[in-house]
Chains A and B, each alone.
Chain A
Amino acid sequence: MAKIENEAAYGGAEEQNEYVINIGPQHPSTHGVLRLVVTLQGEIVKNVQPHVGYIHRGIEKMCESITYPQIIHLTDRMDYLSAHMNNEAVCLAVENALEMEIPDRIKVIRTLMSELTRIQSHQLFWATYGMDMGGQTCFFYGLRDREKILDIFEETTGGRMIVSYNCLGGVMYDLHPNFRKRVKDFIKYFRSIIHEYDAILTGNIIFRERTMGIGPLTLDDAVSFGVTGPSGRASGFSCDIRKHAPYSAYDRVIFNEVLLTEGDTYSRYLVRMEEMKESMNIIDQLIDNIPEGAHAVKMKPVIKLPEGEYYQRVETARGELGVFIISDGNKNPCRVKFRSPNLVNLGVLNHISKEFKIADLIAIAGSLDFVIPDIDR
């Protein structure tokens, strides 16, 4: 093995019989360019040091030299599986700063799109997580069903993954005439087939043995590490922004915040499975009640935010996304910070993987459901 010049940066092999291996940056189970430097003693993980930044694009720096409508389109490229929620976060931040009234139709459309995005994101999680655990079929089942949502997106927004559907004061285009029918068809279809997901993976004995009791995260640690989203709620951390600080149309729908207490890899998986069902319930309540009206409020051509600081939180498929804008009154922001749920969740990986086997590390990292461009930004 080649000598590592800066041993401390790698967590270091301090004791005898310990050795260091690299996972990534190009490795299928890291789901992107994430590099984990793992210190092992035999098969037992002693230390995991994530090395990030391989696709750092300096989005926060770029934001300082572009206008607010332009920033929206950069946010798709962070957590691309929650593209719609990322857009929405910037829009809400700016709209609230300008103290704008947003019509109900826009709020409902945004909520519907967010929940569809959440379902497709969790479907992809299920598909790839099954594959990480050795269940190739999951990948095909998951992608097959996710495709139906992407088709709905494509019809209305023109995009499949990077939708860029939000704009300041509303959404870019009105809903496609087929939208309601296709969403209802999809919900009907997915309800009739989601039991297969459980039959194939949730109930599988090998899968359960590999995930139950693995990588437990206590409630106190989840709060201290700031682990949000499904991963935090699996530890009993009630952190759903849709409940605690409702935005768009979340204050008018009834849904449960899925909370479990075990905090292990299996619970993190279960929360996502349940959330897909909750998302379908939310869509049910809204799809027949989309108010009439325009799809966007007319905005001034040049948008300047009043001097001050604005913070907006939204719940993406992976946790709390925060958009923090400091404005000095110009058309460009003075500073933009994105509180990325993935970077924060990555911080807990070392803590919960220690003393487990290296194969468990793949299970644990998979259950935190990282999207690497959101870590790097």
Chain B
Amino acid sequence: MNTTETDMARFSELVKALVPEAEIHEGKQFAEITVPPASLLAAAEALKENPDTRCDYLINLTGVDYGTELGVIYHLGSSKHGQIIVLKTKTPERANPVLESVCGIWRTAEFHEREAYDLLGIRFSNHPDLRRLFLDDTWGFPLRKDYVDDTNTAANGEDRE
């Protein structure tokens, strides 16, 4: 969705009113909201409950390793409006990263968060059943950039062009 400038300004105001700590900017495709981890849950709840956004559909949840920080990107859709809003949060903690679980808001988050925990080691507090999803406990967290793959050479594509 391409928002016009006035739409964007209105949207910024709306989100600022809901979550004062939020930083809003217009991304290449969607409006993006960045919040500190502490206000993640409040922001998610507000975006779902507010009648102007009504983000009742969590399309996608992506765990990301930015090198120094770990983060989660939420793509929020709506069954009423059809717009997509991107919600982002980052945590500088790498040894024991903990974010609030959004399972209570969108039930689909349960598997998404288990996947993010499995592959990136991000823990979600208040998750009803946080277990690894694909791998067993002997693995590290393969999607982290500092993960060293000792055994599997098939993923090493250095010399492929």
Contact indicator A62/B157 (Cβ below 8 Å): yes
Q: Which of B59, B62, B73, B131 contacts A226 (CB 8 A)?
A: B59
B110 at the interface (CB under 8 A from A): yes
Once the chains are docked, how many angstroms separate the CA of A61 from the CA of B65? 12
B27 at the interface (CB under 8 A from A): yes
Give B56's nearest chain A residue, CB to CB: A223
Knowing A66-B157, A308-B28 are in contact, say whether A226-B108 is a contact too (CB < 8 A): yes
A310 at the interface (CB under 8 A from B): yes
Knowing A310-B28, A322-B59 are in contact, say whether A53-B107 is a contact too (CB < 8 A): no
Contacts of A344 in B (CB 8 A): 108, 111-112
A296 to chain B, nearest CB (A): 20
B160 at the interface (CB under 8 A from A): yes
Contact indicator A61/B142 (Cβ below 8 Å): yes
Within 8 A of A (CB), among B4-35: 27-30
Cβ contacts A346-357/B at 8 Å (1 or 0 each): 110001000000
Binds B, one of A150-158, A191-199, A335-343: A335-343
Q: Which of A62, A322, A347 contacts B107 (CB 8 A)?
A: A347
Once the chains are docked, how many angstroms separate the CA of A324 from the CA of B143? 15
Knowing A53-B134, A376-B134 are in contact, say whether A311-B155 is a contact too (CB < 8 A): no
Once the chains are docked, how many angstroms separate the CA of A361 from the CA of B116? 28
Contact indicator B27/A309 (Cβ below 8 Å): yes
Knowing A310-B28, A347-B111 are in contact, say whether A70-B160 is a contact too (CB < 8 A): yes
B125 at the interface (CB under 8 A from A): no
B105 to chain A, nearest CB (A): 9
Contacts of A56 in B (CB 8 A): 134-135
**What are 26 A-B pairs at a CB distance below 8 A?**
A52-B134, A53-B133, A56-B134, A61-B119, A62-B154, A62-B157, A65-B156, A67-B161, A70-B160, A223-B57, A224-B56, A224-B106, A225-B107, A237-B79, A309-B29, A309-B73, A309-B86, A311-B60, A326-B64, A335-B64, A335-B143, A339-B60, A346-B111, A347-B107, A347-B110, A376-B134
Nearest 8 CB-CB pairs, A to B?
Answer: A53-B134, A226-B108, A65-B157, A56-B134, A339-B60, A337-B62, A347-B111, A224-B107
Interface residues of A (CB under 8 A from B): 9, 52-53, 56, 58, 60-62, 65-67, 70, 221, 223-226, 237-239, 244, 308-311, 313, 320, 322, 324, 326, 335, 337, 339, 343-344, 346-347, 351, 376
